[in-house]
Structure 1
């Protein structure tokens, strides 16, 4: 297959190891990955905070950039983020309708139908669960809110992780509870966000995992900051990084620290 990569703005600017690992993995599985250079933000941040006109500008760019999938130039669009996949599917057309651009809404819906979270692409489209990965570490998985409730990736991440050779997958207590990030929620409601983060970090540490993994680096950034400030020793990795790692070629994006959302904005 020929697959277009939507790297996402946080992946492109702060955590490139996630899109890099996505490319490494898909190419190892025998597929061609292309990177449409016109891509920027999908508009999720602007839409979530009520800046619909600004969001619509970004959505127009996104739809224009990824429309070649509708002409058969690519077979699918892959996104290493449940959050951005969900925004593409469930926000872009709504925002376009809100600003009165019905043509954009229609086109956005068509592009969204060919857009997949990485786990969906692997399991549903490519029909693979065992991707040949090797990762001999104790790992716990946090299913992010958007991946659970918007994109609805279900058990796909667990199935992919369970098939990794050498992995010790530890259940995360209260796994479906939000980590407190929520984009600008963590800035506007910092005390509540910090309390939620403390609970999540405590649960992660209780698993005695070496690595915390999710499918969204936004949440990893938030939880990773909390883990780092406690000197927990727990590392953070995107699911794609683990799936890209093999015995012969361990993926080299193994990260030990990511700033919290607050620290990232200040920097």
Structure 2
């Protein structure tokens, strides 16, 4: 299988270590992975702000960049969700449908397509998992607290297999961090309060490192953590799954 690696714009610009960890992880799993060098934003920021028509160019370029691959894999639940659910604004050609159907968030791809959970990682720390709204409720990466479904979590499966890692139980396991893209700009006060509530839950639960599959949420909380000098480290799940310390 040929896999196209999609690296969201904010990860490319601000968190290149997450992109590198994602690539190295896929290569360790013997995936035939490629990085289309002309890729850009998937169009999510414009779509989230109510300018879907203006995002069509970015969406179509995404399709052109990734249409030749069997799977498209990215370390961002929200971006992958946008591709799968919001590329309906494009004419539904064979290429568009193929890209939408074959786009996968990293953890989902590893567990559901590759059938792997133990990746040989080592990470001797107490970890708190932030389940992003797009990944949890959009991509169905885990069960939701508002439903009485049997518990499951793709991310937990992977983290529980990491040697030395202690996955801490939170009081509110799937509460929103308040980022929400442009919501954090237009509703700053509410966004900050929600983020601080999530951080406090991790602190109360004895967490040393917060992780998750959406670095946009982690970026939001990391900014609040650094501003308030809280004793927490933030790492994308790809970095932990690629760790051998």
Q: TM-score range by the shorter chain?
A: over 0.9
Q: Distance in 1 between matches of 2:241 and 2:92?
A: 38
Normalised TM-score (structure 2): 0.92
- Cα deviation 1:209-242 (Å, max 9, x = unaligned): 1100011110001111111122112000000000
Q: Secondary structure at the match of 2:67?
A: helix
Query: What residue is the counterpart of 1:113 in the other structure?
Result: 101
Deviation at 1:10, TM superposition (A): 1.2
Whether 1:182 aligns to 2:180 is: yes
Trace 1:31-46 onto structure 2 (pairs within 5 A). Answer: 31-46=31-46
Whether 1:7 aligns to 2:2 is: no
Trace 1:139-178 onto structure 2 (pairs within 5 A). Answer: 139-154=127-142, 155-178=153-176
**Pairwise CA RMSD:** 1.3
Q: Distance in 1 between matches of 2:136 and 2:184?
A: 19
Deviation at 1:103, TM superposition (A): 4.4
Stretches of structure 2 that go unaligned for 5 or more consecutive residues are: 143-152
Deviation at 1:32, TM superposition (A): 2.4
Query: What residue is the counterpart of 2:126 in the other structure?
Result: 138
Q: Secondary structure at the match of 1:109?
A: helix
Normalised TM-score (structure 1): 0.85
Q: Give yes or no for contact 1:145–1:178 (8 Å, CA) kept in 2.
A: yes
Query: What residue is the counterpart of 1:242 in the other structure?
Result: 240
Query: What residue is the counterpart of 1:255 in the other structure?
Result: none
Q: Distance in 2 between matches of 1:153 and 1:163?
A: 17
Query: What residue is the counterpart of 1:261 in the other structure?
Result: none
**Which stretches of structure 1, 4 residues or more, deviate above 2 A after TM superposition?**
106-109
Deviation at 1:26, TM superposition (A): 1.2
Query: What residue is the counterpart of 1:254 in the other structure?
Result: none
Q: Distance in 2 between matches of 1:50 and 1:174?
A: 30
Trace 1:1-267 onto structure 2 (pairs within 5 A). Answer: 1-69=1-69, 75-93=70-88, 95-96=89-90, 102-103=91-92, 107-154=95-142, 155-246=153-244, 250=245
- Between Structure 1 and Structure 2, how many residues are aligned? 235
- Cα deviation 1:173-221 (Å, max 9, x = unaligned): 2121111100010110111112211211111111221100011110001
Q: Distance in 1 between matches of 2:228 and 2:166?
A: 23
Q: Distance in 1 between matches of 2:203 and 2:227?
A: 13
